Each structure stands twice: as C-alpha cells, then as structure tokens.
Chain A
Amino acid sequence: MSTPGTHPVPTGLWAWRYILLRRVSQFGILLLFFGTAHWGWQVAKDTPLLAGNLSASKFIGLIPLADPFAVLQIFVAGHVLSREAVIGAAIVLGIYLLIGGRMFCAWVCPVNVVTDAAGWLRNKLDIKPIFHLSRSLRYFVLAATLVISLISGLAAFEWVSPIGMAHREIIFGLGMGFTALLAIFLFDLLILKHGWCGHLCPLGAFYGLVGKTAQLRVRFDKNTCTHCGECAKVCPEPQVLNLKKLEERGYVFSGECSNCGRCTPICPEGSLMFDLKPLIRSHNAQADALAVQRRTK
C-alpha cells in the first residue's frame, strides 16, 4: 500500500454525485410545494399534489405529513392536536427513524443550501475561528425549546425558525424571512464554522436523537482505511468520524451524521460507503476474513 495522502482523490461530476443529488432532493421537494401552491399542481381534480410546507402537508390529498418536532412543541404548548397531525408526524418520524433523522438536514432542509455555501466559502477564504462552542449546545437549545413552549404556550422554535420562515416565504410570499437566512450565512461564514446546523439548530438536534436507529449508514472498512483524514476535512460533523468508534462499530454510529455523503467519494480507498445496517456486519466480517487471509499468505 502507498503512503497516505498521495492517493488520487476522485474528481469530476462523479465525485460530486451526492451533493448534486442532495440539491436535486432539496430543490425538488421545494418545487413540489411551490408548484402545488402557485401553479395548482394536482394528481386529479381537487387533489393537490403536495399541499402545505415542511411544517405540515398533505401528499396527493391522502397522506398527511407533519414535522414531528413542531407537533411535539404544539402539544407541549398545550394544544391537543387533531388526529391528522399526529398521524402525519408519526409517518415522518417513522421514515426518519428508518433512514436516519438528519437525512432531513442534508437532503430536505432548505437552510442546508445556505450553510453549505457558507462553509464552502469559509474554507476558500480560510477564515480562522474566533471562538469555540460545544456542539452539544444544540441539545440544550432543544431542551430550552420544549421548556419555553411549555411556559409561553407557543411552539417556541416554530415562531423563530429560519427554516420555517425561509420555506414559508418561498412558497407563500416574501417577507423579511430572508434576512434570517442572511444572518445564518454570515454567522456560519464569519463567526462560527458550521455554526447553525452543527451547534445551534434544535431541529437538527431533535433529528440527531431520532437518527440513532437509522438503517442507512456510512459503512467503515477498517482494513483499507489509511487514516489519511480526508473524510474529516470535508465532514460538517467531523466528530462522527472518530476513528476509534468507527473501528469498534464498523459504521458511522452517531445520530449526528446527516448521511450527506461527502466523505464517501472523497475517500481514496473507498473505505467509506453507504450501506444498509443489516448488511454492514456481514460485509465487515467478510472483509476482516479476507484481510486475515492476505496477512497469513
């Protein structure tokens, strides 16, 4: 094997496949909402395609969807929700329990486009950090959201959420919500790297907790990994790529991983790959056996 850091990193469109796919997913979902609201997209007469926004919606007039965190806040704030909202939240929660909670962050959330841009520019301009903040802060913000919802009787995050503002105002008409996006962009760019998504956003924290049961994860092959560290350089949540834990588990275990897929094309050895959790164990066992064979030869 050659020395770490000298491997050709894949370039071209193929290397960007997950970022492109994520943008298609993010803008596609936005387009479905927008088209339904503005151009009256429908699957049949009086059956709108995807009516609503990320807070709550109805797909093909049949399947209710709702933001489980918003529903939780409203419940804590003291409103007994109707069945439709609860079913919608359960459906969305079920999906994210399966594919990984923070898939929302990387594949659906419109703010991610802004913070990705800020992170990219920050790297380009090589802006030095001015202070350090614990990434666990978001869990305190999450707890505060629920406590304040309880005290004020208002869904605390929903009333200030830049995600909600941006999404609503793209779909239902412009206001000052874009200033919130601008603020996040500048905060991430100049003040704290990955500041909003990685440190503050309580919705991301919520989905981080939901992500613990994810069945779609990034597999880690300890036999081919050369510890070059390319993955941690591009990862917006580098703490999830803790080598010790990776070797122990054989995959990216932390719920904070958003399955953004940045690390998989960048890995020169192909040690990081998307895989389904039930298949990871057998794959890794096979790889281990192969490595042992190679060594004993």
Chain B
Amino acid sequence: MTEANVSRRDFLVKMAQGAALAGTGGLLWDHLLRQEARAHPYALRPPGALAEKDFNTACIKCGQCVIDCPPLILKLAPAGADLPIGTPYFVPRTGACIMCPDIPCMKACPTGALSPELQRIEDARMGLAVIDIENCLSWKGLRCEICHRECPLKGKAITLETHPRQISKHAMFVPLVHSDACTGCGICEKACPTTEAAIRILPHKLVQGKIGDHYRLGWTFETEITQDFKPAPEAPAPAPGKQDKPGGLDYLNMGDL
C-alpha cells in the first residue's frame, strides 16, 4: 500500500467517523426535541395561539405574554414538567382567562406565535369546555348552573336546557356547551363547585369529533333538499384519482337504475 492510499484511507475513515458522530448525535437531539414538543397534549395556550405544532415552532419562550397578562394566569413550562419546555400555558382550575377585550398577551408576543390575526377575544379558541354529566350537579337534578351564570358568553357558549326525568320529578336544567361560541377561557372550570371540576377545558382536537363532509343533514334548513325544490348543494369533489364511481346523487340519477 502506498503512502497516498493510507492517507486517503485515513481521510475516508475520519469522514465516516465524523458523519457517524454527527448522524447519531443529530438523531438523538432530533428525537429529544420531538419528544419534548409533544410532551403533553393537554396544554392550554393563551388566546390566538397557532395550532400546537406551529405554536411550538414559533414560540421563542420569552414570557412577555406572562408579564402582560392582567390576572397573571400564564406560566412558562419549566424543565422537567411534562409540558413543552418554556412555552406559556394556563390551568383554568387555578387561573382562568378573563378574556380581556384588548388581548394584551397576544399583543406582547414578538414572534406571532400568538397570532395577531385574532381581532376579537370572542373568536379565541383556547380549548373547549366538556361536561362530565355523571358528576355535574345540574345533571343530578340540583339547580346549580354556576358554569352557565359565570360564563362570559352565557347564552351562547353555555346554554341551559331542560332535560325531562321520570314522572313526579321536575325536569333538570342542564348546561350545554356550544363549540361555535366557547373560547375555552375556563371560567366555568374555575367556578365549578364540585371537588374535581365536572366541567373542564380540553384542547379541541382531543374532544371534538367530525362527522365528515359527505353527510347531508336533510332536516336542517340550509341543506333541505325539498325546500322550495332547490337543488341540493354541491357535494365536495372527491379527491382526484378516486373518481372511479359517480357520486351519490349522480349515481341515483343514472339510467341503469
């Protein structure tokens, strides 16, 4: 073997060693980051926060939202907590968002992780109130209704519905949460008088279902097919490449039936 070959060989081995070190180190680091970022799917973010993944990308962990929050409910997740490190969150049971109309936390954010696109605090979607009807006092037949009375969007985000019971007992007045209005401020959770809150705020994606666009609710006014013989709204176009069969209505109207 000549000298040149040895040094070239050394060089290649050095390169491979460097690449291996960088590769394993990088993979470990990357893994650590991803673990940390999805540490806790229950984190409730300040109003205007981007979707969790984008929020974790954009937040610079500076805590200016924490300082500018008037009721001082926001905290930055410390290291070792099972929350994405350094990011702001709040726990409604101990400190609920009071829905300041001028949204100072969002205005304090320097990176846009709390998006300035949020114009009205009523449009914030920090989470969604969910009721444990087994432990809700109203569902036991008591006239509690504290969550309904405390709700800043009472009548829109939480309504009281009557729920009949068997004969000789009066109907129950039970709270019902409406996701189109609930901001997830958590005042209901804070106010709930049960030992463990029977109404809680959870991130939408953990609790909210989706029926799918292909369902037509014929009995609702907007999609009523027979209403004044208006044509049904267009079904959403199926994804390209899957169009081997005609859609529902087209299929029924084809000649071979």
Contacts known (A55-B62, A159-B85, A176-B78); A153 close to B53, Cβ less than 8 A: yes
Which residues in A have their C-beta under 8 angstroms from that of B67?
Answer: 36-37, 48, 51-52
* Complex Cα spacing A148 to B58, Å: 15
A52, A58, A88 interface centre (most CB from chain B within 10 Å) = A52
CA gap between A243 and B47 in the complex, in Å: 57
Q: Check if A156 sits within 8 Å of B29, measured CB to CB.
A: yes
Bitwise, B101-129 to A at CB < 8 A (1) or not (0) is 00000001111110010000000000000
Q: Mark A226-248, 1 if CB is under 8 A from B, else 0.
A: 00000000000000000000000
Q: Which residues does chain A contribute within 8 Å of B77, judged by CB atoms? A: 175
Q: A55-B62, A66-B60 are in contact. Are A173 and B110 (CB under 8 A)?
A: no
Which one, A1-9, A97-105, A161-169, A253-261, is touching chain B?
A161-169
Query: B66, B110, B112: which contacts A58 (Cβ < 8 A)?
Result: B110
- Complex CA distance for A77 and B75, rounded to whole angstroms: 24
**Contact (Cβ within 8 A) A71 B60:** yes
Contact residue among B33, B66, B85, B112 (Cβ-Cβ distance under 8 Å from A79): B112
Interface flag for A106 (CB, 8 Å): no
Question: Smallest Cβ distance from A189 to chain B, in angstroms?
Answer: 21
Give A48 Cβ to nearest chain B Cβ, in Å: 6
Interface membership of A290, Cβ < 8 A: no
**How close is A152's CB to chain B, nearest CB, in angstroms?**
5
State which of A151, A156, A173 has its C-beta within 8 Å of the C-beta of B78.
Answer: A173
State whether the Cβ of B37 lies closer than 8 Å to any Cβ in chain A: yes
> Which residues of A in the span 139-174 have a Cβ within 8 Å of any Cβ on B?
140, 144, 147-148, 151-156, 158-160, 164-165, 168-169, 171-174
B93 to chain A, nearest CB (A): 18
Give how many B residues have a beta carbon under 8 Å from the other chain's beta carbons.
40
Q: A52-B64, A74-B60 are in contact. Are A152 and B30 (CB under 8 A)?
A: yes
Say yes or no: is A53 at the interface (Cβ < 8 Å to chain B): yes
Q: Are A51 and B29 closer than 8 Å at their CB atoms?
A: no
Q: How many residues of A contact B (CB 8 A)?
A: 51
Contact with B along A59-103 (1 / 0, CB 8 A): 000001011001100100111111011001000000000000000
Judge whether B15 is part of the interface by a CB distance below 8 angstroms: no
Contact A56 B34 (CB under 8 A): no
Knowing A82-B111, A148-B30, say if A168 contacts B76 (CB, 8 Å): yes
A56 and B26 form a contact (CB under 8 A): no
B 76-104 to A, binary, CB cutoff 8 A, 1 in contact else 0: 11111100111000000000000000000
**B64 and A175 within 8 A (CB):** no
Contact (Cβ within 8 A) A51 B108: yes
Contacts of B53 in A (CB 8 A): 153
A175-189 vs B, CB cutoff 8 Å, 1 = contact: the mask equals 111011000000000
A199 to B256, CA, bound (A): 77
CB distance from A58 to the nearest CB of B (A): 6
Residues from 43 to 78 in B contacting A, C-beta threshold 8 Å: 53-54, 56-58, 60-64, 66-68, 75-78
Task: Report chain A residues within 8 Å CB of B16.
Answer: none
Q: Which of A48, A56, A177 has the most CB of B within 10 A?
A: A56
With contacts A74-B60, A82-B116 taken as known, whether A154 is within 8 angstroms of B22 at the C-beta atoms is: no
Residues of B near A168 (CB, < 8 A) are 61, 63, 76, 78, 86
**In this assembly, does A112 line the interface, its C-beta being within 8 Å of a C-beta of chain B?**
no
Taking a contact as CB atoms under 8 Å apart, the answer to whether A156 and B116 are in contact is no
A71–B113 alpha-carbon span in the complex (Å): 12
Given contacts A70-B60, A177-B79, 10 further A-B contacts (CB under 8 A): A56-B60, A66-B60, A88-B110, A154-B34, A156-B33, A158-B86, A168-B63, A169-B79, A171-B63, A175-B78
B: which residues have CB within 8 A of A?
Answer: 22, 25-26, 29-30, 32-34, 36-37, 53-54, 56-58, 60-64, 66-68, 75-81, 84-86, 108-113, 116
Q: Residues on A close to B: CB < 8 A?
A: 36-37, 48, 51-53, 55-58, 64, 66-67, 70-71, 74, 77-82, 84-85, 88, 140, 144, 147-148, 151-156, 158-160, 164-165, 168-169, 171-177, 179-180
